[in-house]
């Protein structure tokens, strides 16, 4: 991750993990390191999170096993390291803005949901939670944060359909703050960040804290979902589906990586053979 200090009060954090910005142990450690700086730099007011890759903001969990200690390590809050990262980001004394271009799925959606605000490219955004399509469920806060933003019915649509949602639909649902023409996205977010960065830190921190008091899910709900996700990773159905999508090109083929939720509804035909059967590959 590259950190660009635009001003003492405004930084840009750029995800740059080609080819797909897959979330693995290295990404989580980079976020942990940045959070320490965010929590201890008195001059800092706002951080914009963006991607160096035009088609992939953050893709999803690394499904090839390079997660390191992400599922087992404990962070400074006493929460598992992934939940620790998202909770500290939401509670940080700094405003976090997600400038979204490209694919944002699964744990990556949960990252932007943990940011204070989300702004998406109208032409180039795919947001979603494809976990159900690979036999899992969200475990990093998606099922806890989405209902507060979009309501129960739309949260269930996002989670249970395992579909992608474009920028305009995401804006209409409340998944993102705004969907903007791609040519206007950078300028809008930059202007907002600089405006916020000009305000007094004490007032920003107090206002964010008061909003957090009435809008954040409790720790125990986050822990329940994370523990259930860890269990789900060992389900045979999940292992079979993950093996199938990896075999079709996930994390290897750029075209498949961009569009893989489209095939999730066809991995298994009801009452037919399992996902590992060649007739469905």
Residues 208-267 pLDDT 10s: 999 999 999 988 889 999 999 999 999 999 999 999 999 999 999 999 999 999 999 888
Query: Total domain count for the chain?
Result: 1
Q: Residue 99 pairs with which residues in a beta bridge?
A: 119
**Residue among 131, 144, 171, 257 flagged as catalytic:** 131
131 noted as active-site residue: yes
pLDDT computed for residue 241 by the predictor: 95
Q: Which residues constitute the domain of residue 226?
A: 1-281
Q: pTM for the full model?
A: 0.93
Catalytic residue among 110, 144, 171, 257: 110
Q: Which two tokens stand for residue 74?
A: 């404990």
Q: Whose CA is closest to 154, among 170, 140, 138, 139? A: 170
Q: Which two tokens stand for residue 106?
A: 């699964």
Count of beta carbons in the 10 Å neighbourhood of residue 8: 12
Q: Tell me: pLDDT of 143 over 70.
A: yes
pLDDT tens-digit readout, 156-187: 999 999 999 999 999 999 999 999 999 999 99
DSSP secondary structure code for residue 266 in this structure: G
CATH of residue 126's domain is 3.90.226.10
Instruction: Find which of 56-65, 94-103, 216-225, 227-236 is predicted with most confidence, using mean pLDDT.
Output: 94-103
Taking the alpha carbons at both ends of the chain, their separation in whole angstroms is 36
42 a catalytic residue? no
**Distance (Å, rounded) from C-alpha 195 to C-alpha 10?**
10
Residue 40, pLDDT above cutoff 60? yes
The mean of the pLDDT values for the chain is 92
């Amino acid at each position: 991750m590259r950190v660009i200090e635009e001003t003492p009060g405004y930084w840009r954090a750029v995800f740059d993990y080609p080819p797909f910005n897959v979330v693995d142990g290295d990404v989580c450690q980079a976020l942990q390191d940045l959070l320490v700086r965010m929590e201890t730099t008195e001059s800092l007011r706002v951080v914009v999170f963006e991607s160096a890759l035009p088609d992939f903001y953050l893709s999803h969990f690394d499904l090839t096993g390079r997660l390191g200690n992400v599922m087992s390590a404990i962070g400074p809050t006493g929460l598992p390291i992934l939940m620790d990262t998202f909770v500290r980001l939401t509670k940080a004394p700094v405003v976090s803005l997600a400038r979204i271009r490209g694919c944002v799925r699964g744990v990556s959606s949960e990252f932007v949901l943990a940011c204070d605000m989300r702004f998406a490219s109208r032409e180039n955004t795919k947001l979603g939670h494809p976990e159900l399509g690979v036999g899992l469920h969200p475990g990093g806060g998606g099922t806890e944060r989405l209902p507060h933003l979009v309501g129960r019915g739309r949260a269930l649509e996002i989670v249970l359909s395992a579909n992608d949602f474009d920028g305009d639909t995401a804006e209409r649902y409340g998944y993102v703050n705004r969907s903007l023409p791609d040519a206007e996205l950078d300028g809008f977010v930059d202007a907002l960040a600089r405006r916020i960065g000009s305000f007094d830190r004490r007032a920003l921190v107090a206002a964010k804290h008061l909003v957090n008091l009435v809008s954040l899910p409790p720790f125990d709900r986050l822990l329940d979902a994370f523990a259930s996700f860890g269990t789900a990773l060992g389900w045979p159905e999940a292992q079979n589906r993950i093996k199938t999508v990896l075999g079709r090109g996930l994390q290897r083929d750029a075209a498949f990586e961009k569009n893989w939720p489209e095939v999730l509804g066809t991995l298994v035909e009801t009452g037919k053979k399992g996902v590992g059967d060649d007739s469905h590959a």
